[in-house]
Amino acid sequence: MIKPIELVIFDCDGVLVDSERIAARVQVLLGAELGWPLSEGEVVKRFIGRSSASISAQVAERLGEETAVLWRERFEQLHREAVDAGLAPVEGLPEALDAITLPTCVASSGSHEKMRHTLGRTGLYGRFAGRIYSATEVAHGKPAPDLFLHAARQMGVDPAACAVVEDSRPGVQAARAAGMRAFGYAGGLTAAEQLEGSDTLVFHDMRDLPALLAGVAA
């Protein structure tokens, strides 16, 4: 028997805040600056949805540990500057949150410091304060299920009763691995076909999410 949805777990970057475009732009810039030329498509495939540790490991393998440390430091600096210059919630997200009546939380590959900054800049932090979880709290980041299982435990909800809203391939893979239903938001950088899979509903407009959740939860 399929359990009704009791908890909606939101990714942060690209789902709540429109920061993935900023991150991709900065990663392309850093690649050109530090010796690993990358297109936006390559950045999406390699980095989007993954933790800082995972990205650093890829850079270290390619360019060495010293460059990986510099890359991470430069990314954090440039990303913060770009966020301060202009970051907005994902289009339609505030309206969607207003219409969702189920309990919610956030589970992101980003650090707590990063989420306080991005969610704070967009006025969303207060909506989730006390219910925000980071990949820094678990052994393995997405596409492993650890983070989503951790969020479910902290919220006291059976994983089978959780729905995850994600915009990256590693994210939907992590949700499926956790035994949760995935809602793949294809309004960002990741193409819809990269989000498709079992127990996954792909959608393009965040304003449609409340009705989609209600239809599944019923």
Write out pLDDT tens, residues 135-177.
999 999 999 999 999 999 999 999 999 999 999 999 999 999 9
DSSP 109: S
7 SS3 class: strand
How far apart, in Å, do the first and last CA atoms of the chain sit?
A: 13
CB atoms within 10 A of CB 84: 10
How many alpha carbons fall within 13 Å on the CB side of residue 105?
Answer: 22
The CA-based diameter of the chain, rounded to the nearest angstrom, is 53
Tell me what pLDDT residue 50 has.
87
Cβ–Cβ under 8 Å, residues 39 and 182: no
As a whole number of angstroms, the distance between CA 42 and CA 45 comes to 5
User: Would 7-18+89-217 and 20-85 be classified into the same CATH topology?
Assistant: no
Instruction: Please answer whether residues 59 and 36 qualify as being in contact, where contact means their C-beta atoms are separated by less than 8 angstroms.
Output: yes
Flag whether pLDDT at 217 surpasses 70.
Answer: no
Residue-wise pLDDT for 107-118, tens only, equals: 999 999 999 999
Span 166-194, pLDDT tens digits: 999 999 999 999 999 999 999 998 999 99
Beta-carbon count within 10 A of 101 CB? 11
Domain residue spans of the chain? 7-18+89-217, 20-85
pLDDT of residue 215: 83
**Which tokens in the block code for residue 119?**
């969610």
pTM of the predicted model as reported, rounded to 2 decimal places: 0.89
Homologous superfamily (CATH) for 7-18+89-217: HAD superfamily/HAD-like (3.40.50.1000)
Beta bridge partners of 200: 182
pLDDT digits (tens, 9 = 90+) for 13-58: 999 999 989 999 999 999 999 999 999 999 999 998 888 899 999 9
Strands (E), 43-178: 104-108, 132-134, 162-166
CATH fold group of domain 20-85: DNA polymerase; domain 1 (1.10.150)
The set of catalytic residues is 11
Average pLDDT over residues 97-123: 96
